[in-house]
Chain A
């Protein structure tokens, strides 16, 4: 059964179901391959032990993986066929060490009833570690069907 939602069904303040993901080395490796971002800070444990780019002797997840996971919140809540991303701006506040459980949340901040075929919402998204430390925040504008 495909998920579907309409603009008229969304309210300011709606909270979307969170998306959780353990950022294991296997998850990081898969993302390195699919994004073609093979920076050793993500993939090479020995190099990370020496370089400590983030002050940690371990690999870290890609910032773009964190942003992608935040983007997955409305996709999974509303269905890929409903949520059409128009823009997304993210800031990363802390590196995600390998093994971290990331929890991404989303909340509707604004409704933009522009007109048929042009209505969109603005979401505030967050990526949190288990201690609720904010690892990343984002704002996304998403078109929804009438």
Chain B
């Protein structure tokens, strides 16, 4: 078994939700399709490739993975009785799962770049996602810059439900290789 196959098998043991079971876990597979720092047109806006239908299992998995034990976050019955929303309360960074799902290998796919580094993130949350909502994400290429020889890039991600309510905004920034050649160099290691 190759190292990649061993990694995939090890990760698959933790995948329990429908989305996790169908999501490609090998980020080196589609690397030729990923956007690159030098090819992104700043200011362009695209819808995310996929929409995220919020399920209770999605929220629960994130909360449990973070080690939360508050009944309002991990016990659906307790949440139905006592949570302000009548649902499991989401961990505030649940938005990470939504973003990676919606981007997949479409617009904004540079977030999957091998060799990427995370310098910091800014997130605004306006109201929680609700179970049953279908979240559509807009990806706006917001900025890119070079500092100390590192290539930074930011997308502004807006998350709306099916009635157009803005749920959250994430200014997603990474340091990534400057071009396709740089990504492929990491991918082929």
Contact = CB atoms under 8 A, between A and B. Distances in A.
Contact of A33 (B14, B66, B120): B14
Given A36-B101, A39-B114, A44-B3, A92 B66 contact: no
A80 B14 contact: no
Given A2-B71, A33-B11, A67 B93 contact: yes
Interface SS of chain B: mixed
Contact of A36 (B23, B73, B121, B186): B23
B92 A71 contact: yes
A137 to B, nearest CB: 9
Contacts of B10: 29, 43
Interface in B66-100: 66-68, 70-73, 82-84, 89, 91-93, 96-97, 100
Interface string B87-125: 001011100110011000000000111111111111111
B82 to A, nearest CB: 7
B73 to A, nearest CB: 5
B42 interface: no
A92 B118 contact: yes
Given A29-B14, A34-B65, A36-B23, A92 B91 contact: no
A6 interface: no
B70 A75 contact: yes
A34 B99 CA distance: 12
A30 interface: yes
A13 interface: no
B65 A30 contact: yes
Contact of A63 (B14, B114, B118, B122): B118
B14 A47 contact: no
A56 to B, nearest CB: 12
A41 interface: yes
Contacts of A76: 68, 70
B56 interface: no
A13 B114 CA distance: 41
A98 interface: no
A51 B114 contact: yes
A119 B174 CA distance: 33
A72 B123 contact: no
A91 interface: yes
Interface of A: 2-3, 21, 29-41, 43-47, 50-51, 53-54, 62-64, 67-69, 71-72, 75-76, 79-81, 85-92, 95
